[in-house]
């Protein structure tokens, strides 16, 4: 069974540009989560989507946004990139009826220069 897949693996953008990161959940999982891990920091919760709806968002500015598609894949958009947005962006998915465990992808490294 394929795990959570994320693309691209690495992305380099210039300050002020926009970045789009993509995530495909484990087959059958309807919830998708996005977390940010900046250098030396823990995992900060960004967004949670479930069945196409945004269920919760973390303490991030509105330029961090996303969506979930009918096939449950998801996209994270970061507008007006700032240098401090450089981080590992992790996507995770969960099968709602099987508990609280979420399963992570390998992450997308975003570097803002």
Q: Applying CB under 8 A, which of residues 22, 50, 73, 75 lies at the interface with another protein?
A: 50
Residue 22 phi, psi dihedral angles, 5° rounding:
-125, 155
Q: Applying CB under 8 A, which of residues 78, 107, 110, 112 lies at the interface with another protein?
A: 107
**Residue closest to 21 by CA, chosen among 84, 88, 104, 72:** 88
What angle (nearest 5°) sits at the alpha carbon of residue 79, between those of residues 76 and 81? 110
C-beta of residue 90 within 8 angstroms of C-beta of residue 107 = yes
Pick between residue 14 and residue 101 the one whose CB is nearest to another protein.
101
For tokens 């394929």, what's the residue? 2
# residues contacting another protein (CB under 8 A): 25
DSSP conformational letter for 43: P
Part of the chain binding another protein (CB under 8 A), chosen from 14-22, 41-49, 61-69, 79-87: 41-49
Q: Applying CB under 8 A, which of residues 19, 26, 48, 74 lies at the interface with another protein?
A: 48
Chain residues that interact with another protein, rule: CB under 8 A:
4, 31, 33, 35, 41-45, 48, 50, 55-56, 90, 92, 94, 99-107
């Amino acid at each position: 069974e394929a795990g959570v897949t994320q693309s691209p693996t690495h992305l380099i953008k210039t300050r002020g540009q926009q970045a789009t990161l993509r995530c495909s959940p484990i087959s059958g999982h309807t919830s998708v989560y996005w977390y940010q891990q900046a250098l030396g920091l823990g995992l900060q919760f960004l967004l949670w989507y479930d069945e196409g709806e945004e269920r919760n968002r973390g303490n991030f500015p509105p330029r961090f946004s996303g969506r979930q598609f009918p096939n449950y894949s998801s996209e994270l958009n970061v507008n007006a990139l700032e240098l401090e947005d450089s981080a590992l962006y992790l996507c995770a998915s969960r099968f709602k009826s099987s508990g609280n465990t979420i399963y992570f992808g390998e992450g997308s490294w975003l570097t803002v220069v």
